[in-house]
C-alpha cells in the first residue's frame, strides 16, 4: 500500500513525500507513527493511512481510516462517526482569533461524551477531560500548523508558559489562529495496549473507565481522521476536502 500510494504522488506531479508514510492495520492502527510492514491486512480490520506529498517544498498531512474488505461492524461505525463528528466540528471552529487550546478541549469533550455513550467511560465528559482521562484514548493534540514542512511554525505563542493541566498535557500548539494559517485537524480514538494496560493508569482511572468493555476492544486499533484547513476571514477552507473521508 505504501508503494502504490507514493507512486501515485509522483504520477500526479509531487516532488517527493512530505514525511514517512504511515500505514497501520488491525492493532497497528493504534500505533502513532507506525512504519509500513509486511503484515497482511485482514478482512474487517481498521486500516489507518497517514501520508502526504510535497510540491515546491509545501507539504500536506492527511489521515484516513477505513475498514478492509467488508462493511464495518456497528462498533467500528460508531467509533468512526465519533471521530468524524469531532473533526467536522473542530474544522468549523477554525476562524481568526480562535484559541487552539479551546478547539482541542472541545474535541476532547465531544469524543469523551461519545465514549460514555458507548459505555466505555463513566461519568461527566467535562469532568473526565479535566482529570485527563480522555488521554487514555486520545493521547495526542488536535493538530499543528503545516506548510513549509509537515510541522511548520507551531508551538506556543511567545510568552505563554506550557499548560501543565491534565486536560491539556498533549497540546501540540497553544496560540490563537489567524487568517492565512494552515493547520491540521486530526482527532483520533485508539485502543493502545501500552497505555490501557498500564497498572498506574488503571488505578488512577478505575472508576472512570469500564475496563471490562475496554479489554474487549484491545487489538482493534484505532481511528484518526485528518484534514488540512486554511483559516480565512470568511471561514475555514478544507484544502484536502477532495480526498474521501466517509465510507
Per residue in 106-125, pLDDT tens? 999 999 999 999 999 999 99
What sections of 165-227 are H helices per DSSP?
Answer: 193-196, 199-204, 211-215
Look at residue 149 in the predicted model and tell me its pLDDT. Answer: 78
Q: Could you say which of 3.90.230.10, 3.40.50.300, 3.50.50.60, 3.90.920.10 is the CATH number of the domain covering 2-238?
A: 3.90.230.10
Look at residue 247 in the predicted model and tell me its pLDDT. Answer: 78
Read off the C-alpha cell for 193: 495496549
The 10 Å Cβ neighbour count of residue 218 is 14
Model confidence, pTM: 0.95
- Start-to-end CA distance of the chain, whole Å, equals 19
Order of strands across the sheet that contains 22-25: 22-25, 46-51, 62-67
Look at residue 186 in the predicted model and tell me its pLDDT. Answer: 98
Structural domain boundaries in the chain = 2-238
Look at residue 39 in the predicted model and tell me its pLDDT. Answer: 87
160 class by beta-carbon count within 10 Å (0-12 exposed, 13-18 middle, 19+ buried): exposed
Look at residue 178 in the predicted model and tell me its pLDDT. Answer: 97
Question: What are the φ/ψ torsions at residue 10 (nearest 5 degrees)?
Answer: -70, -35
* Sites in the chain below the pLDDT cut of 70: none
Helix axis angle, 100-117 to 74-92, nearest 10°: 160
Under a CB-based contact definition with an 8 Å cutoff, are residues 43 and 66 in contact? no
Look at residue 130 in the predicted model and tell me its pLDDT. Answer: 98
Amino acid at each position: 500500500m505504501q508503494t502504490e500510494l507514493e507512486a501515485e504522488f509522483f504520477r500526479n506531479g509531487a516532488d517527493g513525500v512530505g514525511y514517512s508514510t504511515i500505514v497501520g492495520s488491525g492493532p497497528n492502527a493504534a500505533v502513532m507513527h507506525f512504519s509500513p510492514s509486511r503484515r497482511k491486512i485482514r478482512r474487517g480490520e481498521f486500516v489507518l493511512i497517514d501520508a502526504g506529498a510535497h510540491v515546491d517544498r509545501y507539504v500536506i498531512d492527511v489521515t484516513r481510516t477505513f475498514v478492509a474488505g467488508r462493511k464495518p461492524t456497528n462498533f467500528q461505525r460508531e467509533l468512526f462517526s465519533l471521530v468524524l463528528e469531532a473533526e467536522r466540528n473542530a474544522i468549523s471552529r477554525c476562524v481568526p482569533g480562535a484559541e487552539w487550546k479551546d478547539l482541542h478541549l472541545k474535541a476532547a469533550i465531544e469524543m469523551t461524551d461519545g465514549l460514555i455513550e458507548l459505555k466505555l467511560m463513566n461519568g461527566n465528559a467535562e469532568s473526565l477531560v479535566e482529570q485527563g482521562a480522555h488521554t487514555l484514548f486520545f493521547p495526542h493534540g488536535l493538530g499543528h500548523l503545516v506548510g513549509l514542512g509537515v510541522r511548520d511554525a507551531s508551538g506556543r505563542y511567545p510568552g505563554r508558559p506550557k499548560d501543565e493541566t491534565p486536560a491539556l498535557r498533549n497540546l501540540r500548539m497553544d496560540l490563537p489562529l489567524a487568517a492565512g494559517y494552515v493547520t491540521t485537524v486530526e482527532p483520533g480514538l485508539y485502543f493502545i495496549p501500552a497505555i490501557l494496560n498500564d497498572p498506574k493508569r488503571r488505578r488512577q482511572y478505575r472508576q472512570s473507565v469500564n475496563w471490562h468493555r475496554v479489554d474487549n476492544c484491545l487489538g482493534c486499533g484505532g481511528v484518526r481522521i485528518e484534514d488540512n484547513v486554511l483559516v480565512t476571514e470568511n471561514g475555514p477552507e478544507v484544502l484536502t476536502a477532495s480526498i474521501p473521508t466517509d465510507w
